[in-house]
A and B are shown apart, each in its own frame.
Chain A
Amino acid sequence: MSTTTITTPGLPFARLLRVEAEKALDTRAARWLLIVTALLTLATVALPLALPAEFEQSPTGYTLATASAVMTLLPAVGILLLTSEWTRGTILVTFTQEPRRLRVLAAKTAAGVGLGVAGALFAFAVTMGGVFGADAVLGRDVSWTIGSAFGGLLAVSVLNMLMAAGFAALLQSSATAIIVFYVVPAIWTAFSIGVLADVRPYVDSSQAFTWIIEGDTAGNWAPILVSMSLWVLVPLVAGAWRVATRDVRS
C-alpha cells in the first residue's frame, strides 16, 4: 500500500488536508463548539484570578485552568469531523474521491491536530493575559517562569486530539464515539479502588495530562507512556485498521 502511495500520488496530501480542515470548520455544530470553547477559555481564567489560594500564580497554575475548555470541547470537533462522514453517509463520496482511505484518515487527524495546536495557542495567550493581569492589575506576587507550561499544554492538546481521532476512527459513529470518549476514562477513574488503585496511574489519561502540563514527568515516564499508549496509540492503530478494512455501507 505504502509503495503504491509513493509511486502513484493520488490527491496531493496538502489538498486533502485543506479540504478536511475546511470541513472541520464549516458546519454549524463545529462553529458553535469553537465559539463556546473560546468563551469558556476566557471564563476559566477567572478561576485562578479569583482563587489565588487554590491556583499557583504562575503560567503553569493558570494553564491548568485555561486548558480545560480546550481539552474538553475541541475533541468533539475532531470526533465529528470523522464520525459525521459515516453518520451522514458522505464517506461514500469521500472514499470514491480518494480511495486511499488511510490518507483521508491522516488528513482528518492532521486537521484535528491543527485545531489542537490552535486551541493550545489560544489558551496559552489567555493564560499569559491572566498572569499579566494578576501581576500588573492585582499587584500579586506572581512567578513568570513559563517552564513546561506552554510545551506541556501543546503536548496534551495534541495528544487529546489524537485520542479523539482514534476513538472516532474506531467507532465510526458520532453518538458512540462521543459517549465513549468522555465516559470511559471517567469510569476507569471511578473504579480505581483497591488493587485497581495501584494500576490507576497506568490507565488514567487525565493524570498523565496533568503531569505533562505541570512538567512533573521525571519520575512518571512509565505510567505516562503506558496510559498514552492505551488511550492514544491503541485506538489510533485499531481505528486505522478498521477504516482501511471495513466495508462502507449506508
Chain B
Amino acid sequence: MIEAHSLTKRFGSATAVTDVSFACQPGTVTGFVGPNGAGKSTTLRMICGLARPDEGTALVDGVPFAELPRPMRTVGALLEASALHPGRSGLATLKRACTLADMPADRPQELLRLVGLEPAAWNRRVGDYSLGMRQRLGIAQALVGDPRILILDEPANGLDPEGIRWMRSLLRDFADRGGTVLLSSHLLAEVQATVDRLVVIGGGRIVASGALDELLHGTGTLVRAVDPAALEGALRTAGVAFTRRDDGALSVEAGVQDIGLLAARAGVALTELRQADGGDLEDLFFTLTGGETALETAA
C-alpha cells in the first residue's frame, strides 16, 4: 500500500508538484504517467523519503518511508538507472545489497537469472553495461529484500520491446502474488499493457486517475461512416456530443449500441463502430497533459 496525501513541493518560487494525492493497493500495478518535467520523479522521491514535501504526507505500508522498520524487506525502489557504482560488477552490487538485507548468499545469482542478465555479464563492471542492462540490474537490486512494494521510476527506459515484455510479466506476477507496484513513464504506450490503474500527472497536478478500463471507457465510442457528414447530421439531430478526429472518424460520448441504433435509423452506413481503445488513451494522455507539455512526450 502506497498513499500520497496532498503532496506539494516547491523549488524556490517554482512549484514542481501541487496537491498530489493517490493510493496504490496490494495486487495492483499503478502507472504514474505524464510528460517529462510533470513532477513524476519529484513525487516518487517524496514517497521514498528522499525529498521533503512542503505540504502533505506520503505513507508506505502505513508509515512514512523513513520509519519503515525493515525498509529493504518492505520496499524495493529503482529511482535512477545510473545510480549504480560503475566500478563494481553487477554481482558485487547485488552481493552487497544482499548483505544489507540479510538475504541468502545465493540470491544474487538467482536474481541475475531472473532479470535475464547473461552470466558473462555478472562479473563485468557496471560502467560497461548498456542502459537496458542497468535497468535490469536496478530491478534486481530493488527485488533483493523480497519486498511487497516496488517503486520504479521510468523502468522501461532503455529496454527493447522484448525487455518491456519481460518487465510486464515480472510486474504482473509480482502484483498477482499480492504485491503493490508503482511505476512511472513518460510514454503511455510503454505501460498501458502492464498497469491496472493509471495516475496521470501534468504540470505538477493530477489530471486523471482511476482504473485503466474506466479511463478507457471515458473516451467513449469510435465511429466511422461512409458519409461522415450524414453521420454528423444524425448525431446533431439526436443531440449526441462528438468530436471529429484527424483520421475522419468521430469520438462520441455514447455507447456502441446507442450509436449503432441511431445510425441504422438514420440510414447511415458505418465502416467502423467500436469502443475507443488504447490508441485513444494516447489522445486522452495528450489532451489531459495539455498541448504545450504534451509535445515533450516525443522527447
Residues of A at the B interface (CB closer than 8 Å) are 4, 8-11, 15-16, 18-19, 22-23, 26-28, 88-93, 95-101, 245, 247-250
Contacts and interface: CB of A to CB of B under 8 A. Distances in A.
Contacts of B45: 247-249
B256 interface: no
A99 B66 contact: yes
A96 B69 contact: no
Interface stretch (B20-28, B46-54, B191-199): B46-54
A89 B69 CA distance: 24
Nearest to A101: B66
A84 to B, nearest CB: 8
Interface in B80-112: 80, 82-88, 92, 96-97, 99-102
B72 interface: yes
Contacts, number: 85
A15 B102 CA distance: 9
Given A15-B102, A19-B100, A27 B83 contact: no
B100 A98 contact: yes
Contacts of A8: 67, 69
Given A18-B99, A19-B99, A98 B71 contact: yes
A11 B68 CA distance: 10
A245 B52 contact: yes
A89 B83 contact: yes
Given A247-B45, A248-B45, A96 B100 contact: no
A247 B9 CA distance: 11
7 contacts: A11-B72, A19-B100, A22-B96, A89-B82, A92-B80, A99-B68, A248-B51
A24 B99 CA distance: 16
Contact of A96 (B71, B85, B87, B102): B71
Q: Which 5 pairs of residues, A with B, have the shortest CB-CB distance?
A: A248-B50, A247-B51, A99-B66, A8-B69, A89-B83
A90 B84 contact: yes
B83 A97 contact: no
A18 B102 CA distance: 12
Contacts of A26: 87-88, 92
Contacts of A27: 85, 87
B83 A250 contact: yes
Contact of B83 (A16, A92, A247): A92
Contact of B49 (A28, A95, A249): A95
B5 interface: no
B135 to A, nearest CB: 14
B85 A10 contact: no
A96 B96 contact: no
Contacts of B221: none
B68 A97 contact: no
Contact of B79 (A15, A18, A96, A247): A96
Nearest to B63: A8
Contact of A89 (B48, B72, B77, B80): B80
A15 B80 contact: no
Interface in B207-231: none
Interface string B216-250: 00000000000000000000000000000000000
Contacts of B84: 90, 93
B69 A15 contact: no
Given A8-B69, A92-B50, A96-B65, 16 more contacts: A8-B67, A26-B92, A27-B85, A88-B85, A89-B82, A90-B84, A92-B79, A92-B83, A93-B141, A96-B77, A97-B97, A97-B101, A99-B68, A101-B66, A248-B51, A250-B82
Given A8-B69, A11-B72, A249 B51 contact: yes
